Amino acid sequence: MTAKPKATHRFYNHSSESMPEIKSDSIALTVTSPPYWNAIDYDRHANDNGESWYRSREYGEGFVGYDEYLDLMQRIFTEVLRVTKPGGFCAVVIGTVLMKGKHYPVPFDFTGRMQEAGWDFHQDIIWHKTTAGVKRAGVTIQKPYPGYYYPNIMTEYILIFRKPGPAIYKDANGHKEESRFEIDRLFTMDTANNIWHIAPVPPRTIDHPCPFPEEIPYRLIRMYSYVGDEVLDPFLGSGQTSKVAVALGRKARGFDTLQEYLDLSERRVKEALKIRPKQLIARFEKIDLGADLSTSHRSPASIQPLLDLSAD
Ligand SMILES: C[S@@+](CC[C@H](N)C(=O)[O-])C[C@H]1O[C@@H](n2cnc3c(N)ncnc32)[C@H](O)[C@@H]1O
């Protein structure tokens, strides 16, 4: 009798603090974005008419302390470590949080907790959102004096951690050639660098407050897992990771505390990928700083060294 093939995807409706359905050392790759600390009330979104959750991450109301949030993340990613194959990877999309005038360095504190849990830090990738961000520079433009510099926040981090163990290319499950990815212009101009330029999902296209674009799991799954591998998302949301994983011949496993998001993911996992045919790359332009400086109110003595330096 032949063994029953494993389902392409399985979703579970409970907290990922404990994932008894997943065997130890079985997951090749996790691609996920944890709930934002204090910023989005997922329960409210799932129960209302879908309008009130389009809130800026800036205006979250406190309901759990920052340390409690980090403790919860550490518990969940300790469990993710258990289920991950030795040598396997975990990619976490996570940003800083602004709340009540304070800027919280969540990705940096989170990295410390991951290392405490037993993960090795492997890589930081900056997701440049290109068309979206938290606009703050208006303050600086109105008050161009030292101490008023608040740059717009255009980025989140894609932090890659690795479970200690053998290199994954030593066990390609017989799928090495099938898993080869193309080195195209997008790769050499963008993916090859650790700043990725990817526009966010346009508002109101997916019924979830914060899906990441398919392009993120699409790049990560092809570079950190082989065809046939199991890919986990412990915070399933709208199912972006699972949808891409299944389309790329991997098996998806996902957890969410809200049944609505399991139902949404179940519907979406069967849909065709929506990788945008037009992708973004950064082009650099030289601007004439000299002209600007000569009309500035600064004394020529203070600008001269700057100009000399740039001429070297
Ligand atoms: C930032 S969203 C994930 C979005 C997802 N990456 C996507 O592209 O759609 C976080 C999700 O985690 C879920 N969640 C929150 N706490 C959880 C927990 N303890 N266990 C599992 N899921 C949880 C929320 O319901 C929410 O859907």
Q: What is the pLDDT of residue 217?
A: 98
**Ligand 1 centroid to 207 CA: how many Å?**
13
Over 50: is that where the pLDDT of 273 sits?
yes
Q: What is the pLDDT of residue 312?
A: 39
Residue 296 banded pLDDT, cuts 50, 70, 90 = low
Q: Which CATH architecture has domain 9-287?
A: 3-Layer(aba) Sandwich (3.40)
Residue 291 banded pLDDT, cuts 50, 70, 90 = low
Over 70: is that where the pLDDT of 149 sits?
yes
Cβ count within 10 A of residue 130? 15
Q: What is the pLDDT of residue 228?
A: 96
Pocket test for ligand 1, best of 33, 256, 259, 260 (most atoms within 8 A of CB): 256
Burial of 111-123, coded b for 16+ CB within 10 Å and e otherwise, reads: bebbeebebeeee
287: which residues sit within 8 A by CB, 6+ positions away? none
Pocket test for ligand 1, best of 21, 30, 257 (most atoms within 8 A of CB): 257
Q: What is the rounded average pLDDT for all residues in the chain?
A: 87
Q: What is the pLDDT of residue 5?
A: 60
pTM above 0.85, yes or no: yes
Query: Hey, where are the domains in the chain?
Result: 9-287
**Ligand 1 centroid to 43 CA: how many Å?**
11
Distance, in Å, from the CA atom of 8 to the CA atom of 156, rounded to the nearest integer, reads 30
Phi and psi at residue 34, to the nearest 5°? -70, 160
Q: What is the pLDDT of residue 131?
A: 86
Distance, in Å, from the CA atom of 130 to the CA atom of 276, rounded to the nearest integer, reads 15
**Ligand 1 centroid to 209 CA: how many Å?**
10
**Ligand 1 centroid to 271 CA: how many Å?**
20
Which ligand 1 atom sits closest to the C-alpha of 208? 9
Which ligand 1 atom sits closest to the C-alpha of 72? 19
Q: What is the pLDDT of residue 290?
A: 78
More confident residue, 99 or 245: 245
Q: What is the pLDDT of residue 17?
A: 97
Mean pLDDT, residues 42-70: 55
For ligand 1, residues with CB inside 6 Å are 15-17, 33, 35, 42, 208, 210-212, 234-235, 237-238, 240, 255-258, 261
Distance, in Å, from the CA atom of 257 to the CA atom of 42, rounded to the nearest integer, reads 10
Highest mean pLDDT among 108-112, 285-289, 301-305: 108-112
E strands within the chain? 9-12, 27-32, 84-94, 97-99, 102-104, 120-128, 155-162, 195-197, 230-233, 251-255
Question: Using alpha carbons only, what angle is made at residue 74 by residues 73 and 77, rounded to the nearest 5 degrees?
Answer: 80
pLDDT in tens, 95-140: 999 888 899 999 999 999 999 999 999 999 999 999 877 888 989 9
Q: What is the pLDDT of residue 100?
A: 83
